[in-house]
C-alpha cells in the first residue's frame, strides 16, 4: 500500500487516478477496435447489387452511353451515402450499448465506495468483492470473510477455492496462492477486499488473453429468416432477368438495352434495402429501450420480448421500492410499534398500551445491538447544505443492503449506534447471508473476553436453530408453545406485508469460536417487521401486463404471508391465483407441478434453484418466459429463460453475463416497457417489409404485364434504379420509426414461431403489388392513347404513377388493422417528410431540364397529372 500510496481506510484519492491510468494503461485485455467511418463508407460499395451497378456503369461508359453512366454513378453514390448514414449511426449506438453493458467494479476512493467501469481500475485501488462479482483485476486480499472464488476460467479447476488474507503454504505457482485474486475469476461466496497489484495485460488473464464476457451482436431469428428469403429472391430474380433479357435479344432488341434492363429488373426484384433497414430499426429500438432503462445484451431478445407470455419477477427492489422501514418489534412476548419514516433517526418505540420506550434497555436494547452488530450496512449523517457543518441534520445517508439499513435506522431510534456497538463487540468472524441460508451470523468478542454468536434471519429458519428463549431478563428452554406464538406473530406481521427477521444469540467457548457450524442451540430474542412499499409504477405495469395477455408472477425469498399481502397490493392476484412455497414445490413431482404452474401467481420462500424449475415448467407449457435475477445462484434460471433479465444496480456480474437484458433501474415497470417496445419494433418491421415487397412486386409485374401484351418497356432502367434506390428507401426507414398503434398492449402476445408474413400479410403484399402494377400499366396505356403514342410522355406517366402509388401506399402500411382514412397522416413526422422529399425528387427529375435527358422525362400537362394522381390513389381506394 505504501508503494502505491493507498490508504487502508480511504483507498486512493481520485485525483491520482488519471496519472495512474496514464502510467499503467486501461484495465483491459484487448484493445477495443475503433470503427473508422471510412471503412464503413467503403463497405457500402462492396455489396452484390452495388457491384453489379458499378459493372453496369463501366459497361455503359465503355459503350459511350454517357447519360446512363452518369445517372448510375449518381444513384450509386446517393445510395452509398444513405447506407453510410444508416450504418454509421447503427455502429455508434451499438458501441454505446457495449459500453453500457460493460462490467463495473466497486472501489474505495476518497474514503467512499464508488462503482466505476472495470476498465478504470488502477493498481493501488482497493476493490470490494462480494459473491457474484467478477474480480476486475489481479490483487492481494486484505480482507476475506467466508470468501471463495471459482477460478475455473484460469485453472480449469471447477471446485471453488477458499481464499484468505494469508498466503498459505508457499505455493510454487502464483495462481495457487490463497491470498491472491485474479482478474476474470468469479466470487462464489462471502465478502472480501483486495489491493489491486496488476491490471490489464499485466494480469494473469492478460497473459493468456482469454475470453471475457462481451456483448454478443448475433442476428435475430427474423434477420436470419430475411437473409434466407433475400438469397432465394436473388437467385429467382437473376434467373428471371437472364431469361427475359435473353428472350429480348432473340426477339431482336439491342443487347445493351437488354443488359441494362436485366440489371434494373434485378434491382427492382431484390429488396436490397431490407436487411439494412431491419438492422437500423432494431438498433433504434434498442436505443429507445435504453431511454426506458432496459439495456439489451443480445439482439434476438428484442424480438422475443414481443412474444413474452409470462414475466417472473423478484419482489424486493423490483416490484417494491427496496426502501425498508422497521414498523414492528416483537420482544418479551409483546409487540411494539416503531414510529418515524424513511432514513431518519427520529422515531419511538410504543407498546400497545401506549407506553413509550424512550431509552431502551434490557432485551430491547440487546435486540438493537445484535441488529447493529450482525450488520454490514453503513450509515453516515448527511451534511445539510450551506450550514451543513453547523446544523446536525437527522436525514441519514445509508449504504448497503436495505434490510440491514432499516435495522440500523431502528437501532438509532433507540440510541444504539453501530460504531459504539462495534467497539464494544469486536467482530472476529462472519458467516455471510445468502438467499439459500436466509440468515447471517457474526462471532464477536467483548472487553471482558467473552465470545458471542449473533444471528439474524428468516424467523422460520432462525427459530429452528433456537433451543432457548430470553424473556423479561430470564433465559429458559424454548417450548412448543413459545414457538407457536412466535410463528403466529410472524404470520400476522406477514399479512400486513411486513418482511420479518428474527434475532438470536449464544455465548461461545473459545473452542467453539472456529467451529465450522456454530449456528445451533441459540437463544431466541425477538422479531423485527419492516415494510417495503410496492412501487407505484409497478402496480400500473401489472395492469398493463394483464391487458397485454401477459401473466406477472412474483418469486420471492420472503414469507408466504408477506408475499401474498404485497402481491395483493400490487393487484397481481386474480380469483384463481395460487401461492406455492419452495417446500411445497420440492414435494411436488415434475408432472404435478407442470399441471398447476399456470395458476401460480406467487412463489414464496423459494431459493434460486427453484427458479430454474419454474422456468422449465413454464417453458414446457409453451410459455415464453422473462425471468429476473440478481444473485449468483440466479444465473442458471436467467440463462434458461427466453428473456433473462438482470438487475443493473443490485445484480451480480455473473447474472448480467447470463442475461439478455439488463434493467438499469431494477424496476419491474421497465421490463413491461421493454416488452411494449419489442412489440412496436416487430410491428414496424412488418410495416416496411409490407411496403418494400409490395413495391418490388408492383414494379416487376408492371414489366411482365406489358411484355405479355407486347407493349414497349413502360419504365426505363434508369427510372427503375432511381425509384428503388432513391425514392423508396427514405419512406421505408421512416416507417421503421412509426409510433405505436393504440392497441399494442391490448392484444395477446404473438406466438414465437410465428412467420413474419402471418395474419394475411403475404396475401396483402401480393394483392397490393398487383393493384399498383395494374394502375401503372393503365397510366402507360391511357397516356399513350391521349398523346397519340408519345413514348417518353407515357413512360413519364407510368413512372410518376408508380412512385406516387407507392408514396400513398406507405401511409397505408402504418396499420394492419385500420384503413388509411382512420389515421392521422401527420403523427409520424419522419414519414411525412420522407414522402414529401421523395415526391420532390420525382418532380425534380421531371421538371429540372438537366435531369430530363438523363431520366428521359417530359412534364405531363394538367389533365395527365389528374389521371396520374387518380390512378395512383385508386389502388388505395380499391
Footprint on this chain of ligand ATP (rule: CB under 6 A): 314-316, 401, 403-404, 433, 435, 438-440, 456-458, 499, 501, 555-559
Spatial CA neighbour of 314 closest among 123, 152, 552: 552
State the Cα–Cα distance between residues 483 and 467, nearest whole angstrom.
10
Instruction: Compute and round to an integer the Cα radius of gyration of the chain.
Output: 35
Helix 729-736 with 668-708: angle, nearest 10 deg: 150
State the Cα–Cα distance between residues 801 and 814, nearest whole angstrom.
21
Shortest separation between residue 432's beta carbon and ligand ATP, angstroms: 9
Helix/strand number for the chain, H first, E second: 30, 27
Choice between 125 and 314, CB closer to ligand ATP: 314
Please provide residue 11's backbone torsions phi and psi, each rounded to the nearest 5 degrees: 75, -155
- What are the angstrom distances between the C-alpha of 353 and each of 334, 350, 486, 533? 10, 8, 20, 27
Choice between 416 and 463, CB closer to ligand ATP: 463
Choice between 463 and 793, CB closer to ligand ATP: 463
Q: Are 528 and 503 in contact (CB under 8 A)?
A: yes
Residue 840's CB is within 10 A of a number of other CB atoms, namely 10
Shortest separation between residue 596's beta carbon and ligand ATP, angstroms: 21
Choice between 311 and 797, CB closer to ligand ATP: 311
Q: What count of Cα atoms within 13 Å lies in the side-chain half-sphere of residue 696?
A: 24
Which residue's CB atom is positioned nearest to ligand ATP?
557
DSSP, residue by residue, 216-232: B-PPPHHHHHHHHHHHH
Spatial CA neighbour of 678 closest among 643, 723, 653: 643
DSSP, residue by residue, 353-411: T--B-SS--HHHHHHHHHHHHS---EEEEPP-STTTTTS---BEEEES-HHHHHHHHHH
DSSP state of 34: P
* Element at 106 (helix H, strand E): strand 104-109
Shortest separation between residue 619's beta carbon and ligand ATP, angstroms: 20
Grid coordinates representing 666?
A: 431494477
State the Cα–Cα distance between residues 341 and 347, nearest whole angstrom.
8
Please provide residue 121's backbone torsions phi and psi, each rounded to the nearest 5 degrees: -75, 135
Told to judge if 314 belongs to the known catalytic residues of this protein, a careful annotator would answer yes
Grid coordinates representing 705?
A: 404485364
Shortest separation between residue 510's beta carbon and ligand ATP, angstroms: 26
State the Cα–Cα distance between residues 562 and 459, nearest whole angstrom.
13
Choice between 555 and 864, CB closer to ligand ATP: 555
State the Cα–Cα distance between residues 68 and 360, nearest whole angstrom.
94
Pairing type for strands 551-555 and 310-314 reads parallel
Grid coordinates representing 240?
A: 428471371
State the Cα–Cα distance between residues 192 and 130, nearest whole angstrom.
7
Q: Are 462 and 483 in contact (CB under 8 A)?
A: no
Shortest separation between residue 644's beta carbon and ligand ATP, angstroms: 15
Choice between 298 and 439, CB closer to ligand ATP: 439
Cα–chain center distance at 194: 30
Shortest separation between residue 634's beta carbon and ligand ATP, angstroms: 8
Choice between 79 and 403, CB closer to ligand ATP: 403
Shortest separation between residue 559's beta carbon and ligand ATP, angstroms: 6
Shortest separation between residue 608's beta carbon and ligand ATP, angstroms: 8
Shortest separation between residue 393's beta carbon and ligand ATP, angstroms: 27
Shortest separation between residue 400's beta carbon and ligand ATP, angstroms: 9
- What are the angstrom distances between the C-alpha of 497 and each of 64, 236, 327? 84, 65, 11
State the Cα–Cα distance between residues 368 and 345, nearest whole angstrom.
14
Shortest separation between residue 463's beta carbon and ligand ATP, angstroms: 11
Choice between 433 and 780, CB closer to ligand ATP: 433
Choice between 425 and 433, CB closer to ligand ATP: 433
**Beta-ladder partners of 508:** 451
Grid coordinates representing 296?
A: 439489451
Choice between 314 and 640, CB closer to ligand ATP: 314
Taken as a whole, the chain contains a residue count of: 878
Shortest separation between residue 585's beta carbon and ligand ATP, angstroms: 14
Strands (E), 212-348: 294-296, 310-314, 325-331, 334-338
Choice between 440 and 733, CB closer to ligand ATP: 440
Choice between 80 and 317, CB closer to ligand ATP: 317
Spatial CA neighbour of 340 closest among 400, 414, 419, 391: 414
Choice between 570 and 867, CB closer to ligand ATP: 570
DSSP, residue by residue, 710-727: TPPPSS-HHHHHHIIIII
Shortest separation between residue 515's beta carbon and ligand ATP, angstroms: 20
Burial class (CB in 10 A: 0-12, 13-18, 19+), 795: buried
Residue 546's CB is within 10 A of a number of other CB atoms, namely 14
Catalytic residue, candidates 68, 120, 138, 314: 314
Grid coordinates representing 157?
A: 479447476
Q: Which residues are catalytic?
A: 314
Amino acid at each position: 500500500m505504501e508503494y502505491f500510496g493507498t490508504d487502508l481506510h480511504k483507498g486512493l484519492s481520485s485525483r491520482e487516478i488519471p496519472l495512474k491510468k496514464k502510467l499503467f494503461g486501461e484495465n483491459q485485455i484487448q484493445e477495443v477496435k475503433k470503427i473508422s467511418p471510412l471503412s464503413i463508407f467503403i463497405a457500402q460499395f462492396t455489396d452484390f447489387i452495388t457491384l453489379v451497378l458499378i459493372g453496369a456503369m463501366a459497361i455503359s461508359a465503355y459503350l459511350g452511353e454517357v447519360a446512363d453512366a452518369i445517372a448510375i454513378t449518381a444513384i450509386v453514390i446517393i445510395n452509398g451515402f444513405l447506407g453510410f448514414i444508416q450504418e454509421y449511426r447503427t455502429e455508434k449506438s451499438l458501441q454505446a450499448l457495449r459500453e453500457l453493458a460493460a462490467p463495473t467494479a466497486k472501489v474505495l476512493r476518497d474514503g467512499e465506495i464508488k462503482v466505476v467501469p472495470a476498465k478504470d481500475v488502477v493498481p493501488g485501488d482497493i476493490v470490494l468483492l462480494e459473491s457474484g462479482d467478477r474480480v476486475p483485476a489481479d490483487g492481494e486480499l486484505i480482507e476475506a470473510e467466508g470468501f471463495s472464488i471459482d477460478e475455473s476460467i484460469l485453472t480449469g479447476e471447477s471446485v471453488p477455492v477458499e481464499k484468505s488474507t494469508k498466503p498459505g503454504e508457499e505455493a510454487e505457482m502464483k495462481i495457487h496462492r490463497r491470498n491472491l485474486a485474479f482478474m476474470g475469476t468469479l466470487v462464489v461466496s462471502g465478502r472480501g477486499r483486495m489491493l489491486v497489484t496488476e491490471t490489464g495485460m499485466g494480469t494473469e488473464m492478460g497473459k493468456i488473453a482469454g475470453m471475457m464476457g462481451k456483448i454478443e451482436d448475433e442476428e435475430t431469428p427474423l434477420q436470419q429468416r430475411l437473409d434466407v428469403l433475400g438469397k432465394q429472391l436473388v437467385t429467382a430474380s437473376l434467373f428471371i432477368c437472364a431469361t427475359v433479357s435473353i428472350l429480348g435479344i432473340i426477339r431482336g432488341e439491342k443487347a445493351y438495352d437488354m443488359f441494362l434492363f436485366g440489371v434494373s429488373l434485378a434491382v427492382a426484384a431484390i429488396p436490397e434495402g431490407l436487411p439494412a433497414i431491419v438492422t437500423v430499426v432494431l438498433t433504434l429500438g434498442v436505443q429507445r429501450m435504453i431511454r426506458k432503462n432496459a439495456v439489451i445484451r443480445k439482439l434476438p431478445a428484442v424480438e422475443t420480448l414481443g412474444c413474452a407470455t409470462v414475466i417472473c419477477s423478484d419482489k424486493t427492489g423490483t416490484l417494491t421500492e427496496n426502501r425498508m422501514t422497521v414498523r414492528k418489534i416483537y420482544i418479551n412476548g409483546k409487540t411494539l410499534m416503531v414510529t418515524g419514516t424513511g432514513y431518519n433517526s427520529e422515531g419511538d418505540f410504543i407498546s400497545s398500551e401506549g407506553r413509550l420506550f424512550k431509552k431502551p434497555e434490557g432485551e430491547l436494547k440487546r435486540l438493537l445491538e445484535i441488529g447493529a452488530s450482525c450488520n454490514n450496512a453503513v450509515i453516515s449523517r448527511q451534511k445539510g447544505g450551506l450550514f451543513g457543518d453547523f446544523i446536525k441534520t437527522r436525514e441519514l445517508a445509508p449504504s448497503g443492503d436495505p434490510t440491514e439499513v432499516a435495522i440500523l435506522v431502528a437501532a438509532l431510534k433507540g440510541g444504539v449506534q453501530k460504531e459504539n456497538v462495534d467497539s464494544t463487540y469486536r467482530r472476529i468472524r462472519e458467516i455471510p447471508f445468502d438467499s439459500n441460508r436466509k440468515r447471517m451470523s457474526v462471532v464477536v468478542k467483548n472487553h471482558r473476553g467473552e465470545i458471542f454468536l449473533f444471528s439474524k434471519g428468516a424467523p422460520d429458519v432462525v427459530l429452528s436453530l433456537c433451543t432457548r428463549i430470553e424473556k423479561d431478563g430470564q433465559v429458559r428452554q424454548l417450548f412448543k408453545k413459545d414457538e407457536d406464538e412466535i410463528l403466529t406473530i410472524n404470520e400476522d406481521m406477514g399479512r400486513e406485508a411486513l418482511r420479518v427477521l428474527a434475532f438470536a444469540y449464544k455465548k461461545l467457548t473459545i473452542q467453539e469460536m472456529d467451529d465450522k457450524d456454530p449456528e445451533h442451540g441459540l437463544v431466541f430474542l425477538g422479531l423485527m417487521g419492516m415494510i417495503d412499499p410496492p412501487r407505484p409504477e409497478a402496480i400500473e405495469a401489472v395492469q398493463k401486463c394483464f391487458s397485454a395477455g401477459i401473466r406477472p408472477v412474483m418469486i420471492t425469498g420472503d414469507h408466504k404471508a408477506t408475499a401474498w399481502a404485497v402481491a395483493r397490493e400490487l393487484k397481481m392476484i386474480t380469483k384463481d391465483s395460487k401461492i406455492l412455497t419452495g417446500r411445497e414445490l420440492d414435494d411436488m413431482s415434475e408432472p404435478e407441478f407442470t399441471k398447476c404452474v399456470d395458476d401460480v401467481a406467487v412463489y414464496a420462500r423459494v431459493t434460486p434453484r427453484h427458479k430454474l424449475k419454474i422456468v422449465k415448467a413454464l417453458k414446457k407449457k409453451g410459455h415464453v418466459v422473462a425471468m429476473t435475477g440478481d444473485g449468483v445462484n440466479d444465473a442458471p434460471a436467467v440463462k434458461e429463460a427466453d428473456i433473462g433479465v438482470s438487475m443493473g444496480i443490485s445484480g451480480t456480474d455473473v447474472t448480467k453475463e447470463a442475461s439478455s437484458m439488463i434493467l438499469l433501474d431494477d424496476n419491474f415497470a421497465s421490463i413491461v416497457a421493454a416488452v411494449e417496445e419489442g412489440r412496436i419494433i416487430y410491428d414496424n418491421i412488418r410495416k416496411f417489409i409490407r411496403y418494400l415487397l409490395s413495391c418490388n412486386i408492383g414494379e416487376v409485374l408492371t414489366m411482365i404485364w406489358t411484355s405479355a401484351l407486347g407493349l414497349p418497356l413502360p419504365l426505363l432502367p434508369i427510372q427503375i434504379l432511381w425509384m428503388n434506390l432513391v425514392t423508396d428507401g427514405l419512406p421505408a426507414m421512416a416507417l421503421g420509426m412509426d409510433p405505436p398503434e393504440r392497441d399494442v398492449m391490448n392484444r395477446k402476445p404473438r406466438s414465437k414461431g410465428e412467420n413474419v408474413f402471418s395474419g394475411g400479410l403475404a396475401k396483402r403484399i401480393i394483392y397490393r403489388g398487383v393493384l399498383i402494377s395494374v394502375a401503372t400499366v393503365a397510366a402507360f396505356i391511357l397516356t399513350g392513347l391521349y398523346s397519340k403514342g408519345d413514348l417518353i410522355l407515357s413512360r413519364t406517366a407510368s413512372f410518376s404513377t408508380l412512385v406516387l402509388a407507392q408514396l400513398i401506399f406507405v401511409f397505408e402500411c402504418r396499420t394492419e388493422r385500420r384503413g388509411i382514412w382512420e389515421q392521422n397522416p401527420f403523427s409520424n413526422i419522419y414519414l411525412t417528410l420522407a414522402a414529401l422529399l421523395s415526391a420532390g425528387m420525382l418532380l425534380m427529375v421531371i421538371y429540372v431540364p438537366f435531369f430530363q435527358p438523363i431520366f428521359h422525362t417530359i412534364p405531363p400537362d394538367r389533365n395527365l397529372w389528374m389521371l396520374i394522381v387518380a390512378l395512383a390513389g385508386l389502388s388505395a381506394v380499391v
